[in-house]
Amino acid sequence: MVKVWLLALMILYNGFSLTVFGIHNSTRPEFVNIGALFSFNTSVGKIIKIAIEAAVEDVNSDPNILGETKLKLSLQEDSKYRGFLSIAEVLQVMARHNVAIIGPHSSVTAHVITHIANELQVPLLSFSALDPTLSSLQFPFFIRTCHSDLFQMAAIADLVDYYGWKEVIAVYIDDDNGRNGIVALGDKLAERRCRISYKAPVSPEATPEEITNVLVQVALAESRIIVVHANTLWGPKVFSVARNLGMMGTGYVWIATAFLSAILDISGPLSSDKMDEIQGVLTPRMYTPDSELKRRFVLKWKNLTRGNTADGPLGLSFLSLYAYDTIYALAHALDAFFKQGNKITFTNDSKLLSLHGDTLNLEALNVFNEGNTLRKNIYGVNMTGVTGLFKYAPDGNLVNPAYEIINVIGSGSRRIGYWSNQSGLSAVPPETIHSKPGNGFRESKKLLPVIWPGDIDQKPRGWVFPNNGRLLRIGVPISVSYRQFVSQVPGTDTFQGFCIDVFLSAVNLLPYAVPYKFIPYGDGKNNPSCTELVRLITTGEFDGAVGDIAITTERTKMVDFTQPYVESGLVVVAPVRGSETSALAFLAPFTPRMWFVTALFFIIVGTVVWILEHRVNDEFRGPPKKQLITIFWFSFSTMFFSHRENTVSTLGRCVLLIWLFVVLIITSSYTASLTSILTVQQLSSPIKGIESLVNSKEPIGYSQGSFSKNYLIQEVGIDESRLVPLITPEQVTKSLEKGPRDGGIAAYIGQRAYIDIFLSSRCQFTVVGQEFTRNGWGFAFPRDSPLAVDLSTAILQMADNGDLQRIHDKWLLSRACLTQGAKLEVERLELKSFWGLYVICGSACLLTLLIYLIQIIRQYNKHHSEELDSPDQNSGSGSTRLRSFLTFIDEKEETVKNRSKRKKMERISYRSSEGGSISINSNKDYVAQSSSCIADSVSNGGSEQVFIKVV
């Protein structure tokens, strides 16, 4: 009995240990049910079925993934291939307690059944439902195991932008997948300043006649860039109809989404008739990098599809690759799910039980309790499959989306480049670019050449004028004034003028014909508002505008302008009068500060020269009064280079040389300025520019209908009550002549192009101040109009070859008013123009004074030391030494030297008397030296007594 109890305890202990220590083998079920919902009767459905079944077989045969647990696949035929009618078939799949469902193929079906997946918390894994909106937070249990159409549309948008096109036409199935894909395309195009100009939706069940009606409307549109977003069943019909309509020829560009590359991969090679329908088409193909896993799967695929040739060969598509990796990703997620100790359990949904729908068998539907946990494990998968790295980014999309760009040529296709989300378009594989640091592959942005529809290799322009017989309505503003720019020939529908000739010449340079018709805009009595004319382009009343239309910020927000063909900013025109020369005109060339600094430097230089010459030059010596006069006379006489005093010192000559150069520059500038003042007519005006108008209260005229009114009010800040609208040049002339006191205006503000013509015959006015805006004239067209770009190129070509200047000379060349060469005001020479010369001269003066002071101190120290050596001299006090130094500076240098020699001789004589005797020869030398000293003293006017003692 004891042994029985011990055996029972051991069994309980072993069971407890298995539970506590986490050995969960008992929690793993023998089978895990998964379902697949596809239309397996189609070619796409067949390759998906083959890939899924092969993946399930490989997973079940690999014990390293799920161990002893096997995947049990349940295939459900989506025979209706519709969203609503597929519900019943989905419910059958859900009733089998599947932990996950693979599919459906259609995004339309996915939009319906994902609500059921959310309710039952069963993950819905799809690699073929590529609608970007399925990734929204509304559908948490929809898990895309492939790249969504969002990236495909980004690749197409980059392709459009790469070739310089701005508008495309979208032809698509009008269902959830088609609409949402085109919305994504529109967003990606907008990021690149491109747009969808026309949307052509087609019913999912459209007949060839209905498709024909849609494509006829496409042919009448302007753009020739057509993007087709369809499926493998409906897409080929579009190209068949397009070929019958002649829309697969030269000038067209067709870009098909990935459905076309899937057809080429699955059903290729196509028949010659089918290939002729898609010649020159571009299409993206989901890119999967080459690897050993992929190569083994390709070989295996040939064996798997060898017997499935009843409806033609089944090629390997991206759908097969991602279907295979989807099963493996689910298996890895289930393995992690079981390793976490989770079990698979289902419970009844109380919400479904409350519904009385016996025919739908709703009571068989159960909620997967651990569905949310499995969903998180799926997003946590990180593996390498046949498609490459299989890993989810934080936004729920697979990492590294990439496409090949395929060009259909002849009996097959050719890859012209790649696109990836990180590097954009390139001619090298994405993994090659990612492996290189920096911008080493910037040159790889170029794609290979393309053979376009019509078997041409030259890039199509991408647009034509609508083939509906309608001429472009070009609005022409009819101004009352300045008819040289734009005018209508009386009694005709023709127009002439500078702007018209520029437009006609530019149009003639275009490589295509432009059907247009000029429409006059304005009543002929008042100048029309060009801003309103531009606004009418946005409403469709006009297709463009040609004339003297200034390019302003407000107008560029509404339309696109061509390259400016005239530079014309706002300027201020005011009346001027000639000014008479005054009696003090000779003072006008220099400003007061310039006069003061110049006079000051004359005195400074004279003083410096006197200091440097005083000890060595007799002309700079004498009584104080004489020396002061000498300083002023010498300094100011250098202005005329008539100074009579000669400089003998090296330092003095250096200062004088630099100063004479400064005087030469100053006098030359003074002479030139004074000549200009006395010979050129001087004009004066109380208005100095726009600044003086802002600070005044006087009325200001402007051209009625121009943008200058709003600019003066909003930007400059002038009160509207001060602005007077004027129409004709005669009104402007009359108002300016009256002046503000007699009911006229103080100044007129207009565009430079107008003012040049206005002033050519009105010499009593002139432009005052600077041009305070920088505007140009251009031709206006609707936003993103390719005609604006082409005409801009033509205008630049006209500027290069001289045509633009010749047209300008034809209409606008006129004789300028003779007084336009007169000066509006005296341009006085300021100190800032000469401060460099004064700095050089002042530096030279300071440097020479410093050198001179050092020399004087050295000489004085030598002289002072000699005096201290004399037996009858004492050192003296500090004040005595200062007086001695000042006396030394005032003395002539030669006198100091002679006195030094004499004292030296006296010291020699004194030492001889102390020594007792000196040789006769020495006495003779001494007498000779003493005689020389006496002669020097007498010659210098000295009065000293010389005593010679001979022993």
Task: Compute the residue count for the chain.
Answer: 951
For the stretch 416-426, pLDDT in tens is 999 999 889 99
Weakest-pLDDT range from 83-97, 526-540, 859-873, 936-950 = 936-950
Maximum average pLDDT range among 95-109, 182-196, 299-313:
182-196
**Which residues, including other chains, have CB under 8 Å from residue 429's CB and lie 6 or more apart?**
287, 289, 418
Range among 189-198, 676-685, 851-860, 928-937 rated most confident: 189-198
Q: How far apart are the first and last CA of the chain?
A: 164
Q: pLDDT grade, residue 559 (50/70/90)?
A: very high
Instruction: Dihedral sign for Cα 689, 692, 697, 698, please.
Output: negative
Q: Write the DSSP string, 714-734.
A: III---GGGEEEE-SHHHHHH
Angle at 425 between CA 421 and CA 430, to 5 degrees: 60
CA distance 205 to 183: 21
- pLDDT above 50: residue 18: no
Phi-psi region of 825 (alpha: psi -120 to 50; beta: other; left: phi over 0): beta
Residue 801 has pLDDT above 90, yes or no: yes
Nearest to 474 by CA among 499, 491, 440, 508: 499
For residue 856, the model assigns a pLDDT of 77
What is the percent of the chain with per-residue pLDDT over 90, rounded to a whole number? 43
Is residue 488 predicted with pLDDT exceeding 70? yes
Torsion of CA 870, 871, 872, 876, to 10 degrees: 70
Cα–Cα distance measured from residue 734 to residue 129, given in angstroms and rounded to the nearest whole number = 77
Split at pLDDT 50, 70, 90, the class of 624 is: confident
| Tokens describing residue 835 | 């401060």
Question: Do residues 279 and 248 touch, judged by C-beta distance below 8 A?
Answer: yes
> How many other CB atoms sit within 10 Å of the CB of residue 646?
12
Helices vs. strands in the chain: H and E counts, helices first: 32, 33
pLDDT score for 917: 46
6-10, 284-288, 486-490: which is most confident: 284-288
Burial grade of 111 (CB within 10 A; 0-12, 13-18, 19 or more):
buried
Q: Which tops the pLDDT comparison, 813 or 552? A: 552
The predicted structure's pLDDT at residue 292 = 94
Q: Note the pLDDT of residue 939.
A: 40
- In DSSP notation, 331-359 reads HHHHHHHHHTT----EEE-HHHHTS--GG
- Do the beta carbons of residue 323 and residue 127 sit within 8 Å? yes
Contact in structure between 550 and 776 (CB atoms under 8 Å): yes
The stretch 786-795 carries a mean pLDDT of 92
pLDDT of residue 923: 46
Q: Would you tell me the crossing angle of helices 592-613 and 650-679 to the nearest 10 degrees?
A: 160
Which tokens hold the place of 560?
């696109």
Residue 815 pLDDT greater than 90, yes or no: no
Confidence bin at 270 (pLDDT 50/70/90): confident
**Confidence at residue 354, expressed as pLDDT on a 0 to 100 scale:** 61
- Please tell me the predicted confidence (pLDDT) of residue 949: 38
Per-residue pLDDT tens over the stretch 687-711: 878 888 888 888 999 988 888 888 8
Residue 920 has pLDDT above 50, yes or no: no
Q: What pLDDT does residue 816 have?
A: 57
User: In the predicted model, what is the mean pLDDT of residues 300-314?
Assistant: 74
Region 610-628 average pLDDT = 74
φ, ψ for residue 561, nearest 5 deg:
-110, 155
Q: How confident is the model at residue 12, as a pLDDT?
A: 37
Secondary structure of residue 115 in the 3-state scheme: helix
The residue among 630 and 261 whose pLDDT is bigger is 261
In one letter, which amino acid is 288? Answer: T
Mean predicted lDDT score pLDDT of the chain: 82
Q: How confident is the model at residue 279, as a pLDDT?
A: 95
Of the listed ranges 517-531, 648-662, 874-888, 935-949, the least confidently predicted one is: 935-949
Give strand pairing partners of 476: 520
C-alpha torsion angle, residues 245, 249, 250, 254 (rounded to 10): 90
What stretches of 509-649 show up as alpha helix (H) in DSSP?
A: 530-538, 553-556, 592-613, 624-637
Q: Using CA atoms of 298, 303, 308, 312 in order, give the dihedral in degrees to the nearest 10.
A: 50
Q: What is the pLDDT of residue 948?
A: 39
Strand partners, 590: 829
> Which of 141-150, 536-545, 766-775, 881-890 is least confident?
881-890
Give per-residue pLDDT as tens, 459-472. Answer: 999 988 876 667 89
Q: Which amino acid is at 21?
A: F
Which residue matches tokens 């002539």? 892
Q: Among 31-40, 440-449, 597-606, 738-747, name the one with the lowest average pLDDT.
A: 440-449
The region of weakest confidence among 187-196, 459-468, 756-765, 896-905 is 896-905
State the pLDDT confidence band at 932, using cuts at 50, 70 and 90.
very low
- Look at residues 724, 776, 705 and name the one whose alpha carbon lies nearest to residue 521: 705
Q: Is the Cβ–Cβ distance between 94 and 122 less than 8 Å?
A: yes
Among 103-107, 424-428, 575-579, 930-934, the range with the most confident prediction by mean pLDDT is 424-428
Query: For residue 11, what pLDDT is reported?
Result: 36
- pLDDT over threshold 70, residue 936: no
Identity of the residue numbered 171: V
> CA-CA distance, 98 to 73, in Å (whole number)?
9
Distance CA 900, CA 714 (A): 87
Q: Which residue has the higher pLDDT, 88 or 836?
A: 836
Q: Which backbone phi and psi does 44 adopt, to 5 degrees?
A: -65, -45
Residue 2 has pLDDT above 50, yes or no: no
Residue 567, pLDDT > 80, answer yes
77 CB-near residues (< 8 Å, 6+ apart): 38, 39, 40, 41, 89
Q: Band the pLDDT of 859: cuts 50, 70, 90.
A: confident
